[in-house]
């Protein structure tokens, strides 16, 4: 979380983990931060709010065709 001046707050639990480490430590810390972020964003939501979609579903056929085009061009 950031304060009004754009600096990280002292009470943000994501700011207290290791900054550097081996690959396992880095990945574990990244997952910990993602879990904490999701928990903070979802806290206070009821089941209805959590079930609400933030975007319309994508047509699977069109999405698959687009992915195939990208793979063939790239």
pLDDT of residue 2: 55
pLDDT of residue 61: 66
Q: Cβ distance 25 to 48 under 8 Å? A: no
Which residue is associated with the tokens 């319309």? 56
pTM of the model: 0.51
Q: Cβ distance 33 to 14 under 8 Å? A: yes
Which residue is associated with the tokens 């009004």? 4
Token pair belonging to 26: 């880095």
Compute mean pLDDT per 10 residues along the chain, 74 residues long, and list them: 68 72 88 88 88 78 58 53
Token pair belonging to 46: 């009821």
Determine the Cα angle at 33 with ends 67 and 2, to 5°.
105
pLDDT of residue 62: 60
pLDDT of residue 64: 60
- Write the pLDDT tens digit of every residue in 35-49: 988 888 888 899 998
């Amino acid at each position: 979380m950031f304060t009004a001046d754009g600096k990280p707050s002292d009470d943000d639990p994501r700011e207290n983990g290791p900054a550097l480490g081996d690959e396992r430590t880095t990945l574990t810390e990244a997952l910990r931060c993602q879990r904490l972020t999701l928990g903070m964003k979802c806290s206070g939501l009821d089941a209805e709010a959590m079930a609400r979609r933030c975007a319309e579903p994508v047509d699977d056929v069109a999405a698959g065709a687009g992915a195939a085009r990208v793979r063939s061009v790239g």
